[in-house]
Structure 1
Amino acid sequence: MELRHLRYFVAVADRLSFTAAAESLGVSQPPLSQQIRDLEREIGTPLFRRTSRRVALTEAGVVFLGHARAILAQVRQAAEATRSVGEGQTGVIHVGLTGSVLTGPLGGVIRAFEARFPEVEVRLHQAPPEEQRAALHAGRIDLCLMRGPPEDPELAAVPAWSEPVGVALPAAHPLAARDSLVLRDLAGERYLSLRRTDSHFANLLWAACLAEGFVPLLAHEVVEAQALLSLVAAGLGLALVPEQVGRLAHPGVAYRPLAGPVPAADVSALHRSPASSRVANFLAVLRAETGGL
């Protein structure tokens, strides 16, 4: 028994006419009649009473009609559910990120994505960048958002949004009296950094200092950018931070933009290639909300 037997049977049962059923199905009547006879032979009982004037369901045919409709409905539902998953309309998307990424436009991106794809659940996984990349390779997350990601031939990187870097420093520090700073102003100052073993972005900032002719006097390394602000507020040093992080309200911390050669805190979205439908949909919303880079 095949699905076409059920479709043919239901078409005849709905119209009680082999001619009308054949027209609705786009087939000729003889093959349709043969298919119904094959179905009756397989089941072992007549499903229709046929006379020269009319076609009617037998008692067995009435029972079988209910089952046939249910089976076809389940097949349609299965096809729709599968198609919905394949098109990225349902399911879960796992997004890796650091806390500092949430200070930018990501919240608005997630809100817009959930409005457009209400059947897709967004789950956020906060972790250091290298842990995110490992989770992405292992398939535990679908994409991750990070600043200055390292090149990885197995991953695709899509520009997400641009953000400059500035200096977070104690509000009472003499340099806070200036409207802007340059990287060379950090020479000789205690330097607070993201942990360079975890963060390619931290290494890019370190390299920018070296390019300006000085080695930062590293005082402390932390995992999250927000932790840098706490150390700055305690007077333990200065830190290079993304603008959105530096402008967070934090007692005792001043933020000053950088002039001259300025490293960027641009955010990229990393994913396995080719992108799944859910990831492609998320990236489309991301581009629409941020304009990309």
Structure 2
Amino acid sequence: MELRHLRYFIALAEELSFTAAAQRLHISQPPLSQQIRDLEHELGTVLFLRTSRKVMLTEAGTAFLAHARSIMASAELAATQVKAIGQGMTGALNVAATGSMLLGPLAALMAEYQRRFPAIVIGLHEMAPDAQLTALLTRAVDVSFLRLPPADAELTRETAWREPVGVFLPAGHRLAGRGAIALSELSEDGHVFLRLRDSTFADYLRKCCIEAGFMPRITQQVIEAYSLTSLVAAGFGVALAPRSVSALSRPEVIYRDLVPPAPAADVSMVYARDQSPVLTRFLSFARRFLAEWRAKQ
């Protein structure tokens, strides 16, 4: 028994006319009659009573109609679901990022993606940068948003958005009245840093300080950027941070840009080379969304 047999049977059962059913199926009557005979032969029972004037379902035919409709509905649902999965319209997407990434366009990107593709289940996983790379390589997550990710032959990276680095200062700092500050002017201060062992971005900032003529005196190291302002306010020193993190500023802490050329805090989308349909669709959507976001900045 094939789905074709069921489709022909349902058409005839609903039309109760070989002529009308054949027209509905866009075939001639002889093939329709033959398919119905084949189905009845396979089932070992008569499904239709045929007279010169009309066609009627038998009791067996009436019972079989409900099953045939159910089978066809299940087959259509399966085809629709498989097609949706293949086109990246349904499934799961796991995104890794540090919490501070949500201060930029990432939160809005994910919200709009969820609105456009409600059948996709999105999981956001807050992780330290090195943990994100491990999760990508083990396929625990699909895409990660990282600042200055290290090169890896198994991973692809592309710029998501660009962002400069500035500095958090205590409100009473000697440079607080400046509009912009040269990195070299922070050589005498203690520095609160992102944890060096977790972050290539933190290591990059340290190298920028060295290039500016000083080795930063690191007083504390933190995992998340939103911890920086609390420690700066408490008097542990100053903190270099991406501009988006300035949204976390508080009365006793101020944020100032650095004099160009300032360190960059550019964010990359990082993902495995073998992409699922869901990831392929997300990346395409993200590129368009972020391009529009950049145009508005």
2:105 is matched with 105
Q: Distance in 2 between matches of 1:24 and 1:158?
A: 52
Question: Could you say which residue in structure 2 is the equivalent of 1:259?
Answer: 259
* SS of residue matched to 1:198: coil
1:166-186 per-position Cα deviation (integer Å, ceiling 9, x unaligned): 011211121222221112112
* Correspondence for 1:14: 14
Unaligned runs of 5+ in 1: none
Structure 2 unmatched ranges of 5 or more:
none
1:215 matched to which residue of 2? 215
For residue 92 of structure 1, report the CA deviation from its aligned partner.
2.9
Q: State the match for 1:287 in structure 2.
A: 287
Name the counterpart of 1:186: 186
Could you state the TM-score of these two structures normalised by the residue count of structure 2? 0.91
Partners of 2:263 and 2:283 lie apart in 1 by 25
Q: CA deviation at 1:96?
A: 0.8
Same amino acid, percent of matched pairs: 49
Shift of 1:259: 0.8
1:220-259 deviations in Å (ceiling 9; x for gaps): 2111111122111111122110011134232421211011
- 1:172-211 Cα offsets, whole Å, 9 max, x none, are 1212222211121122322221112211111221222222
Range moving further from structure 2, 244-253 or 54-63: 244-253
Retained in 1: the 8 A contact 2:191–2:219?
Answer: yes
Q: Does structure 1 retain, via aligned residues, the 8 Å contact 2:249–2:255?
A: no
**1:132 match:** 132
**What SS class does the counterpart of residue 176 from structure 1 fall into?**
coil
Aligned residues: 293
How many Å apart are 1:59 and its aligned residue?
1.4
> For residues 31-60 of structure 1, what are the alpha-carbon distances to aligned partners after superposition, in whole Å with 9 as ceiling and x for unaligned?
322221121111110111122333221111
Q: 2:229·2:248 contact (CA, 8 Å) conserved in 1? A: no
Preserved contact between residue 247 and residue 255 of structure 1 (Cα < 8 Å)? no
**Equivalent runs, 1:78-227 vs 2, <5 Å:** 78-227=78-227
Deviation at 1:283, TM superposition (A): 3.0
Q: Secondary structure at the match of 2:208?
A: helix
Residues 4-42 of structure 1 deviation map (CA, whole Å, 9 limit, x = unaligned): 111111122122223332333233333322221121111
Aligned partner letter, 1:87: Q
Q: Is the 8 A contact 1:109 1:286 kept in 2?
A: yes
Alpha-carbon shift at residue 98 of structure 1 (Å): 0.5
Question: Partner amino acid for 1:147?
Answer: R
Normalized against structure 1, the TM-score is what?
0.92
Letter in 2 for 1:111: A
The 10-residue stretch of structure 1 (12-21 or 141-150) with the greater mean CA deviation from structure 2: 12-21
Q: Which amino acid in the other structure matches residue 76 of structure 1?
A: E
Partner of 2:28: 28
